[in-house]
Structure 1
C-alpha cells in the first residue's frame, strides 16, 4: 500500500482545483515577462553599437550575461528568503551581506591602499569576498539556527545587528584613509557590470545553474512552508530541514552575486513582490522564474536607459536602490495600515 505525503496531496489539490483561466493568465504573464526580458537584452546589445562591432558586441554580451547571473540569483534568493521568513518585506541583504562586502573592500584599502584594490587579481578578490560572506552566513546559521531549534527571526535580527556593526566599522575605516584612496574605494562599492572577468563569469554561471537545480527540488515543499510552520509540519513536511537547505542556497547565491558585481540592495524586494502581484500565485515554480525575469529585465533595460537615453555613466545600482527604496517604503506603509 502506497502512502501520499502532505506535499503531494497539496500539489494534487492545487493542480485539480486551479481554474484554467488562472493558468492561462499566468502563462500570458510569464510569456510577456520573457519577451520583455529578451527584448531588453537584445536592445542593450545592439542599440548604439559602433566601431569594431565584433569587439563591442562581445563586451556587451559579457555584460548581459553578468546581468542574467545577478538577476536570477537576486530574484531566486529573495523569493526563497521571504518564504522561509514568512515576511514579504525582507530580503537576504538585510542579513548584512552588503555591509560585509563594503567592509572587506574598505579594509583592503585601509591596510594596503587603493592601488592594491585596483590591481588585485580578480580571482583572488572574488574568492576572498565570496568566501568571507559564505563563512559569515554559515557561522551565523550554525550558531543561532542549527541547534536548539531557535527562532528564525532571531537569526534575522542578529544578521541586522551584524550588518549595522559592519557598516559602522566601514564608516570608521573610510574616515581614516587617504582622500584619494577614498575616491577609488567609493567607485568599487557600487554594483558595476563594466569590468567582469570572463572566467569568474563562467564559474558563477555554472554555480548558479547547479544551485537553481537544487533549489527547484524544494519548490513543492516551500509551497507548503509558505503556509506556516505548524501547517507545514501537520502536512508532513520537515520544516526545519527545508528551511536549512533553503538558507544554505540563499547564502551562496547572494554571496556569489555580490562578490561578482557588488551590492544591489533593494532589487530583491522590488522584483519578488512585483512577481507575486503580477502572477497572483503562491507557487514557487511560477513566482521564482517571474522574479528572475523581472530582475534581469530591470538590469538590462535600466542600463540601456542610463547609457543610451540619458547618456550617463551613473551606476545602475544607485537608480535601482532609489526606486526599490521607495517601493520598500510603500510596502511598509501598506503593511502598517492592514
Structure 2
C-alpha cells in the first residue's frame, strides 16, 4: 500500500527541492545544497553506464561455445545483481537507522558469523561436508541463522533505553573478534587439505554461485525491495531522529525492528550466496550519496544499486579481459574498500 510523504519542515541544513542536502552529519557540519545536475539525470546516467557494463560483460570476448559462455556469464550476472542490491540497499538503510555514514552491517561482525558457521561444519564433519551439503536447504538455513543472530543482537541493542550507536559498535566489534578468534583456533586444528577447502569458501566468490540459488535470492530481494521502496519517505523521516520521527507519526521502534529484519535478510542472503564482502557495501553507499547530491532515499537507493552493479559487472569485465585475473575482483574490491574506509574515517575524524 502506498503512503503519502510525511509533511514536515525540513531539518536544519536541508532544502526542499530536488537538489536538497542531507541532514546534519555526525560531526555537526551541514552539507552544502547541490545545484548541479538534476537527480533524474544522474540516475539515467548511472543506468546507462550500468547497461553498458552489463552488455560488455555478457557479449564481448566470447571464445569457444557461445551458449556455454553466455549461460555461465548470465549466472554470474544474476549473482552480481543480487549481491549489488543486497549490499547496497542493506548498507544505505542501515546507515539511515543508525544515523552514521561509516557503519555497515558487515563491519558489525556479520561476516564473522558466516566464517564461524563454515569452520564449524568442516571441524565437526570434515572438508567434504561443504560440497556434500551445497544446495537450497543449506542456503536457506544459513540465511535464517545469520538473520536470526543479527536480529537478536541489533534488536536487543536498539530496543533498550540505554541502547546507542556506541554500544552497538562496541558489542558488534567484540563479538566479531570473538567469533573470528574461535574460527582461527578451529582452523589451526584442521588438516592442510581441509583448510584449503575451507579457505576457498571464506572469500567473496561471484563465479561459483549455483544458478539454482538465484530464484530464491531474487525473490527475497524483490520482496525486501518492495517493502523498502514503500517506506522510502519514512526512511527520510527517520533521518530526523527518534523524537522528530515520533512526533511526525512514525512508530519508531516498529520501523526500526522491521528495517533490521530486512537488512539481516539482505546481508545474510548475499553472504551465503557469494561469501563475505566487508567493504563493498560501504563503498557503494558512500558513492551513492556523493553521486546523488541528496539524502532522499527515492534517489539514493536506486543509485546505490546501480553503482554496485557497475562496480561488479564492469570490474569483472576489466579483471578478465585487461588484467587476466578473473578471480581477483573481490580481493581488489576489499583492498580498495578498506583503504577508502580508512581515508574516509581519518578525514571525518569521528564515528
Q: State TM-score, norm by structure 2.
A: 0.88
Q: Does 1:117 align with 2:136?
A: no
Match of 1:180 in 2: 193
1:264 deviates by 1.0
Q: Distance in 1 between matches of 2:152 and 2:16?
A: 43
1:292 deviates by 0.8
Q: 1:144-199: per-residue Cα shift (whole Å, max 9, x none)?
A: 33455733543343222211111111111111100111111111111112222222
2:213–2:273 CA contact under 8 A, matched in 1: yes
The 5 Å alignment of 1:158-307 reads 158-307=171-320
Q: Does 1:35 align with 2:48?
A: yes
1:226 deviates by 1.1
Secondary structure, aligned partner of 2:303: helix
1:85–1:153 CA contact under 8 A, matched in 2: no
1:47–1:308 CA contact under 8 A, matched in 2: no
1:101–1:258 CA contact under 8 A, matched in 2: yes
Match of 2:322 in 1: 309
Secondary structure, aligned partner of 1:177: coil
1:228 deviates by 2.3
1:139 deviates by 2.0
Of 319-328 and 135-144, more deviation after overlay is shown by 135-144
- C-alpha change, 1:84 and 1:261, in structure 2 (3 Å) is same
1:10 deviates by 5.0
Q: State TM-score, norm by structure 1.
A: 0.91
Secondary structure, aligned partner of 2:327: coil
1:19 deviates by 6.1
Secondary structure, aligned partner of 2:62: coil
Q: Distance in 1 between matches of 2:350 and 2:218?
A: 41
Q: Distance in 1 between matches of 2:119 and 2:225?
A: 31
1:218–1:242 CA contact under 8 A, matched in 2: no
- C-alpha change, 1:281 and 1:330, in structure 2 (3 Å) is same
1:113 deviates by 1.6
2:19–2:39 CA contact under 8 A, matched in 1: no
The 5 Å alignment of 1:46-195 reads 46-146=59-159, 148=161, 150-195=163-208
Q: Distance in 2 between matches of 1:255 and 1:143?
A: 19
Show structure 2 runs of 5+ residues with no match. Answer: 21-33
- C-alpha change, 1:142 and 1:30, in structure 2 (3 Å) is closer
Show structure 1 runs of 5+ residues with no match. Answer: none
1:99–1:167 CA contact under 8 A, matched in 2: yes
Q: Distance in 1 between matches of 2:139 and 2:4?
A: 42
Q: How many residue pairs align between the two structures?
A: 333
Q: Distance in 1 between matches of 2:64 and 2:228?
A: 42
1:190–1:315 CA contact under 8 A, matched in 2: no
Q: Distance in 2 between matches of 1:17 and 1:195?
A: 45
1:219 deviates by 1.1
Secondary structure, aligned partner of 2:163: coil
Q: Distance in 2 between matches of 1:288 and 1:145?
A: 23
Match of 1:330 in 2: 343
Runs of 4 or more off by more than 6 Å in structure 1? none
Query: Considering only aligned residues, what root-mean-square deviation do their CA atoms show, in Å?
Result: 2.4
1:267–1:324 CA contact under 8 A, matched in 2: yes
Q: Distance in 2 between matches of 1:139 and 1:57?
A: 42
2:136–2:213 CA contact under 8 A, matched in 1: yes
